[in-house]
Structures are given as C-alpha cells and as structure tokens.
Structure 1
Amino acid sequence: MHDAPLDTQHPRAASAPARAAIRLTGLRALRGLAPVLLLLAVVLADLLIPGRLHAAPVMAAVPVLAAMTLPVWATAVLACTALAATGLLQWSDGLWGRPASDMTLMSVSLVALVGLGACALRRSRERELRQVRSVAEAAQRALLHPLPRRLESLELCGVYLPAEAEARIGGDFYEALPTPHGIRVLIGDVRGKGLPAVGASAALLGAFRELAYREASLAGLARGLDESAGRQIATMEEGAGAAEPRALFTERFATALLVEVPRDEPVARFVHCGHPEPLTIRAGRVHGHVAEPPGAPLGLGDLIGTPQVEQTVPFAPGDRLVLYTDGFIETRDRDGRFHDLAARARIRATQPLAALVTGLRADLLKHADGDLDDDAALLVLERGRAGEPGR
C-alpha cells in the first residue's frame, strides 16, 4: 500500500523515495537479464547433456520471458537470437531437416510471434497506465494541496493513507487556511467510493476555500458547507436517475470537523459534523472532545435538523490537536479489535511532532497488518510558544 504524506517534515521522508527508486531500478535490471540468462542456460544444457536428450525446445520460453519484461525491440532481438540458436543446436545435434527439428523450429517461431504481439500490447497498456497515473497525480495536487509545515503560530504535520495500493486520491480530504477570522482547518470523509467520492471531496474543498474567508462564524461556515454538500447530493442523484428524492443519500454525505484557531486567544473552536472527536495533547495527557450535541454530517442537515454548534476548548502554546478520519479508529486487527488511537497517542504524547505522526502511522499499519480497509488521514496541529520563531 502506498502512502501520500500531507507533510514531509521527517528527515527520512525525502530519502525514502530515492531508496525505493534504486531498489526498483535494480529489480528491473535483474528481470531484463532473465531471458538472456535463460537462453545461455538452454544452449549450455543442450551442449552438455547426453545425445538423446535435447534442451532446444525449451528455447521457446526465451521470447515469452522477454515479452514479459523487455521492450518490443529487445524482445524481437532475443526472439531472433533464440530462433537462430535453436537452428544451430539442431544442426550440431545432427537433427537438422528431420520432422522433429522442423516442429521445434516452428514452435519457437510461433511462440516468438505471439510473444512480440503480447509485448506490444503490454507496452501499450503501460503507456495508458502512466497517463492515468499522471492525471491522478495532477488531480491529487489540485484536490489536496500540500499543507505548509507552519501557518503563523501553528506547526502542522500529518499523513494520508489510501486503502487502495495504487490509489492517489480517495474520499478523505483536508485543508488549512489562514483567514481574517483565524486559522481554519477542515478534515472530512466522504461516504462512498470511486469517482463520486472524489467529486464530492473536490466540491466540498472548493466550497471551504471560498467560505472560510467570507463566513464570520465557524457555525455559519458549517452551514454553508452543508448547503454545498446538499447541492452535490442532488446533482449526483439527478445524474444517477434516482427514483425518489435522497434515495442515494446514504452513499453521498460526508462527515467533517471544522477547527478555528484564533490569533489572540489561547483556545480552539470546533464544529462537529458527524465526525470522530478530536484529541488534545496537553502536558503529556490526551483528552477527547465529544460533540455536545453531535452535529449532522454535511449534506444531511435539512433531513436531521440538528443545529451546527460551536465548541470551545483550551488550546494554549505547546498544546497539540490531533485530527483524523475514521480509518484511524475503525481499522480492525486479525482478532477484530479496533485501533485505539487515543491510547497510542498517550504513549507517544511527549515525542516531537514529526516523530509523533510517524509513530501513529506506523502503529496503524502494524495494527492492520499493512492492509487498510478504508482511507485514513491524520493531521496534528501544534501551537507555538510565545516568542517562538517560525521554522
């Protein structure tokens, strides 16, 4: 499974892609040599084994192996080399011109042609896959902007883990913006999978980036996002041809948590929209903040009718806020036990910020045995101490 970090503060983060690239290059070189080594092995085996045993028919495997690992031109060169080597081996064994020799040459020729066709198809699919990945990476950069390491007095560090190994984007989303009303942060999770979830995430992030500057109150910002999500649901249902209004709402709403950190007050304000409670780390202790009352998920406000209520908690210099999606608490181990994020945060509460995030990520992957069932995002905010310079 691949992970897409929100931030790369950890000193080893930059070198990890380089090490992975080196390993991948070595593996590709080894795979490229495999058909050449097989060709040489067949020639040696045929020359060394007793007269009635002939290894030349195994030469048909050379173009097949080449087609799996090499470009078309290299596959063609090896196929021709294999065919020529087969003919020479047949001649040296005194089999040239016999029916068995003709059948061997025909078999190698046919397999070589099929291998060339398969190689051309594979290369075409690889080009298409590279294009798709390029588009996905561009979409990720547009959808999930890389978060800065520091926003005014806040230091940020986090990680995003898609459940699908080849995924670049998913249904979890996040954003942090310095606004006239303070630093505002959004983290959320769209219910649903695939492109509809990505589309809903994009719509909500776009609305947040606009409303965060306009709305004076955090509750007003939450209401604006709920209206935007409602319009997104209606559009999706209309496109899907839903027979009844809101027939598809169960797969189209989003849980979210809105956070506001005022510049001149040692507090943080929350608005819960059906999202897991945030955690505060203060003086090495972890505190959870349950919504009172719990707010409705974005897109369901007009159905449930629960008002969006602001909650204020202390957030002094040196304190940390841990924001996360449900992938960090609903992931189960082999025995069916949920991951206890709060417990892991208590163990790592005194670690530096980057080490804390790296450790929590490792704890989740270890608990899931490296196989996540859902996307998981985590973002930790640390408030700088008075007079502390930006880093």
Structure 2
Amino acid sequence: MRRTRPDTSLTADTDDGFRPAAPPAWTRWLPFVYVAFVLLLEAAQQEEWAVSLFLVALPAIAAYAYGPAVVAALTVLAILLEGFLAAVSHHLGETHHVTADIATAVVGILATALAAHRRSQERHLVHANSVAEALMRALLRPVPHQVGNVLAAGLYRPSEAGTMVGGDLFDIRTTRTGERAIIGDVRGKGLPAVRTVAAVPGTFREADYEAQDLPAIAARLERGLVREAEEIRDPELFATAVLIEYDSLAHRVTVTNHGHVEPVLISRGEVRTLEGPPALPLGLGHLAAADRPVPCSHRFTRGDVLLLVTDGLVEARDTGGDFYPLVERLRHRFEGRPAPGPADVVDFLNTDLPRHTPHLHDDVAMLAIAPHGHT
C-alpha cells in the first residue's frame, strides 16, 4: 500500500523540488500563428498598405509564454520581417517604416524585461510554495504505512490551488495504551489558520504520552486553544475534531467527537457512520463547562477500515449544488466486496472527489486506519 500524495499545481523537478505549471500550449504557438497571419494578410491584400506594422505587437505576444531570450529573438525576427516586407513593396526607406522598426525595438526591449520579470516571479512563487509545503509537511507529518498495530493512509488537499497551506490537520501516534489519532478542522483556512494548525498537533503529540484517556487529551487541547485564542485575540477561535484510540487486545476503537464529521466504518462489506454523543468543538468547552465528551467504543477487527474526514469532503458541491455523498459512494465502491485497505479507500476518494467537484472551496483531509497483526 502506498501513501497518496495530494494534487497540487506544482510538479516534481530536480532543482528545488518544484516547477511552475507550463503555460497553455496555445500561448506558445500564438506568436508563430500571428506571424503566419500577418504574412498571409500581406499576400492577400489588394491595396498597398503597411500590413507589416502589425508585427510591432509580436514581442508583447511572445512575452506571455516565453523567456527573455526567445522574446529578444522574436523581436529581431519582427524587425527583419518588417524590413523584408517594406523592401518587397519598395517602401523600405519611408519614414513610417523606420518608425515602425523603432517602435518594434522599444516594444521588444520592454517585452524582454517583462519576460525576465515574469520568470523571476515564477521562481519566487516556486520557492514560496516549496517553503509552504515544507512547513505543512512538518506540521502534518506523512502518514506511515504502519503505525503500531494499525495500517494507515492519509491525504491532504488544500483548497488554495498550488499550495499546501490550509486549516485541516491530522496525526496518528502509537502510545502505551494503544494507537491514537486526531483529525481536525480549525476555524478559517489558508495562512490565517496555519498558526492554529501548528498548535493543535503539537499539543496532541505532547498529551499523547501523558494523558490516560481521550477526554484528558481533549482537555489539554481545549486549554491550548483557549491560550491560543487569547494570544491572537480571537475569542471565536475553535477547532472541530475527532479523537480515536485503538485497543488491539480488546479489538475495539474508542471515539470522541468534538463537533466534527462522524467517522465512517467499512466492516464486513457494510458501510456505516459511527454516531455518538456530540461535544462542543475544541476551544468552546467553556460554554458547557459541566459537560465532558463521552467516549464511544466500537468493535474494530481485521478487515475493518475506519475513515476520518473533514467537512471539506462532505460539503464539496457539484455543479448542481449537491454535496458529495460520502457514504453512498463508499457503499457503491466497497459494499459486498473483499475488505479494502486504508490506502484503497483513500485512493478511491482522491480520484472520485474531483469527478464530483472540479474545484474545491474548502480544505480536505482524510485519514484511514485498519487493524494489523493478531486478531
């Protein structure tokens, strides 16, 4: 099984890990099509008028898709073609043709500078996105194929194309009491959410080794978000989350849900949501201080897959405005069939979601786990 890598508009390269997406093919062909059009127009025109003046625009057209060297070369080509067409019509020395050559040279110089600036901005953008992805990969560490007694697979798809910056989070750890995982969604998205995304997994990892149960971890996360809200002066800061703990000896998984999307269990050819007593999102616990989250336990044996997702998945809309039918799609794919692995489930959703929603409007994260080892 493999860990699915999220799609971005940046692809692998050998320099700094990424390269910008290539411009559309038609923009690369446009300068040459434009030259052919001017030459055909020159050959077809019945009256003597300066068709070659259209070539003044050639460097600017080339600057959209090409670098400074190609733009400079096309500028020279445009000036030579203007001179050739003027010579053919015996008007080479006329003032307006000389003026056209000068104008083409000026436009070419500016277009070459523009192309150089565009390339510089592209390099800067690639570097910025590389740093952003490195940051998010440090915060949302890659999900190993196996964590303790579970197999796992994870996926993160940011809503902002070409970046890895977003407000969703997940993590999975092995502890003395079993494997524990979290998936969450902080209020907001993009850069404003990054600070909170950094705080929540850090607190989870720290509490993981000390807290005796999931409510104790939730209490630590609650206090951490309250402090974060005070520091950034955002009284409405919160994060929805699901916390889980797997006991391989008891073959059970314990779940606490803090205002988040319900987990989905694929078990024995059936697909169902794991509903339980809801709790307030993390950071808003002070609104119901007397209530503690109630853990719910469910049987979880080899062949089962537990899927945790964020609301960016279930609230993704198609062109008709309908939400992505997560449970129905999972039933259509896996119900009545041999037990899938975590990577099978994540890979299916990674390919099926774009068919339903071409453009995401919210971050999407998912984490799937399955028991491994003794049964």
Of 96, 106, 129, 2:125 maps to 129
2:245 counterpart of 1:260? yes
Question: Structure 1: how far apart are the matches of 2:319 and 2:212?
Answer: 47
Question: Structure 1: how far apart are the matches of 2:24 and 2:354?
Answer: 28
TM-score (norm 2): 0.86
Q: 1:144 to 1:9 in 2, by over 3 A?
A: closer
2:91 corresponds in structure 1 to 95
1:381 corresponds in structure 2 to 369
1:220 corresponds in structure 2 to 216
Question: Structure 1: how far apart are the matches of 2:104 and 2:219?
Answer: 70
Which amino acid letter does the alignment assign opposite residue 55 of structure 1? V
1:304 corresponds in structure 2 to 288
Is the 8 Å Cα contact of residues 255 and 297 (structure 1) preserved in structure 2?
Answer: yes
Question: Structure 2: how far apart are the matches of 1:331 and 1:153?
Answer: 32
Partner deviation per Cα, 1:142-197 (whole Å, 9 max, x = no partner): 11111011223311123222222223121110011112221111100011123221
Partner deviation per Cα, 1:21-67 (whole Å, 9 max, x = no partner): 99x67x77875565356446645754675562543112122211221
Structure 1 residue 95, shift from structure 2 partner: 0.9
Q: Where does 1:1-391 land on structure 2 (aligned, <5 Å)? A: 7-8=3-4, 31-32=27-28, 34-36=30-32, 38-39=34-35, 42-43=38-39, 46=42, 50=46, 52-237=48-233, 248-250=234-236, 252-292=237-277, 294-305=278-289, 306-349=291-334, 350=337, 352-353=340-341, 354-368=343-357, 370-384=358-372, 386=374
Which amino acid letter does the alignment assign opposite residue 134 of structure 1? S
Partner deviation per Cα, 1:117-163 (whole Å, 9 max, x = no partner): 32233223212212211211211221111101122331112322222
Question: Structure 2: how far apart are the matches of 1:378 and 1:225?
Answer: 20
Is the 8 Å Cα contact of residues 168 and 364 (structure 2) preserved in structure 1?
Answer: yes
Which amino acid letter does the alignment assign opposite residue 285 of structure 1? E
Partner deviation per Cα, 1:67-121 (whole Å, 9 max, x = no partner): 1122223222221232233223222321122233233223322322331232233
Is the 8 Å Cα contact of residues 186 and 239 (structure 2) preserved in structure 1?
Answer: yes
Gaps of 5+ in 2: 13-17
2:15 corresponds in structure 1 to none
Q: CA RMSD in A?
A: 2.9
Question: Structure 2: how far apart are the matches of 1:30 and 1:334?
Answer: 27
Is the 8 Å Cα contact of residues 51 and 93 (structure 1) preserved in structure 2?
Answer: no
Is the 8 Å Cα contact of residues 38 and 52 (structure 2) preserved in structure 1?
Answer: yes
Question: Structure 2: how far apart are the matches of 1:331 and 1:36?
Answer: 42
Is the 8 Å Cα contact of residues 9 and 157 (structure 1) preserved in structure 2?
Answer: no
Number of positions where the alignment pairs a residue of Structure 1 with one of Structure 2: 361
Question: Structure 2: how far apart are the matches of 1:365 and 1:44?
Answer: 44
Instruction: Report SS of the residue matched to 1:193.
Output: coil
Instruction: Report SS of the residue matched to 1:68.
Output: coil
Is the 8 Å Cα contact of residues 170 and 197 (structure 1) preserved in structure 2?
Answer: yes
Is the 8 Å Cα contact of residues 67 and 112 (structure 2) preserved in structure 1?
Answer: no
Question: Structure 2: how far apart are the matches of 1:371 and 1:30?
Answer: 23
Is the 8 Å Cα contact of residues 269 and 313 (structure 1) preserved in structure 2?
Answer: yes
Gaps of 5+ in 1: 1-5, 238-247
